[in-house]
Amino acid sequence: MPELPEVETTVRGLARYLEGERIARLTLNRADLRRPFPEGLVQSLTGASVTGLGRRAKYGLIHTDRGTTMVFHLGMSGRWRIEPDRIEKHDHLVLETGSGHVLALNDARRFGSVDLVDTDKLDAWPPFAAMGPEPLGYELTPKHLQQAFAGRIAPVKQLLLDQGIVAGLGNIYVCEALHRARVRPDKEAGKVSLPALKRLVPAIREVLTESIAAGGSTIRDYAQPSGELGYFASSWQVYGREGQACACSAPVQRFAQGGRSTFWCAKCQK
């Protein structure tokens, strides 16, 4: 599934073609993705001008001058194709701008979604209202994690994946951040010390920032809007590297945790 860096990369790519543009035509080539497209989506956005783009957790935001925002989620396999040579079978939403740009939301598995939300009510929109702070924002602090983890016996990795504690973190980047911070992924969250949390918060920011700069991590179907593949996977220190040597020379280990694979180094993370 595209994670936060992949969505951020996507939004930045779209901004080059959409910001300040008028939406001349919006075409829906089927009735739904994971759920139906919003009623009146075409009518609401046709003729609107894009005032800006943004991201909340793993959702992309396309703001318009009509006070509405198109919120998209890429699901498992979604991606935006820019200036495609032709419209393909899985290009389910096609957007054309007044200056002639064509952008197609392609989603072969249809696990993604598109919603239309009043811009001034985005914070209160149910999927967003329950979310914790953005991991790249100032609200994510060691103190915030300490308070969220207080008394919790659940593993620290599981709680970092809880969107109500931190918005947008996924399996790859939590594994990598915990390794950089030298924190065991299965340690009880309430027992993670404040000094460890002071290592963990900057580690989260660093791994996300580096991945965004690299265009994200390519997993299965994901690609940037330009069609290029993200290359941060080449920088993974533990994720997907079971049996390979960590930088400390000890072998990277893997175990199942909450239905996901957790990768870590027993020597570095104690």
Rounded CA separation 168/134 (Å):
7
From the list 78, 12, 1, the residue with the least C-alpha distance to 213 is: 12
- In the residue annotation, 191 being an active-site residue is answered as no
Please identify which of the residues 5, 21, 56, 58 carries the catalytic annotation: 58
Token pair of 213 as six digits: 């700069």
- In the residue annotation, 260 being an active-site residue is answered as yes
Please identify which of the residues 25, 152, 241, 260 carries the catalytic annotation: 260
Phi first, then psi: give them for residue 15, nearest 5 degrees.
-60, -35
Please identify which of the residues 3, 8, 96, 134 carries the catalytic annotation: 3
171 touches 223 (CB < 8 A)? no
Please identify which of the residues 2, 5, 142, 225 carries the catalytic annotation: 2
DSSP H helices, 88-169, are 126-129, 142-149, 156-160
Token pair of 67 as six digits: 């006070």
From the list 87, 79, 13, 103, the residue with the least C-alpha distance to 221 is: 79
Q: Are strands 91-97 and 23-28 parallel, antiparallel or unpaired?
A: antiparallel
* Farthest CA pair distance, the chain: 59
Q: What contacts 24+ positions apart, CB below 8 Å, involve 158-165?
A: 158/189, 158/257, 158/258, 159/189, 160/204, 161/258, 161/260, 162/132, 163/57, 163/130, 163/131, 163/132, 164/130, 164/131, 164/132, 165/132
∠ CA 210-211-212 to the nearest 5 degrees?
Answer: 90
Q: Which residues participate in catalysis according to the annotation? A: 2-3, 58, 260
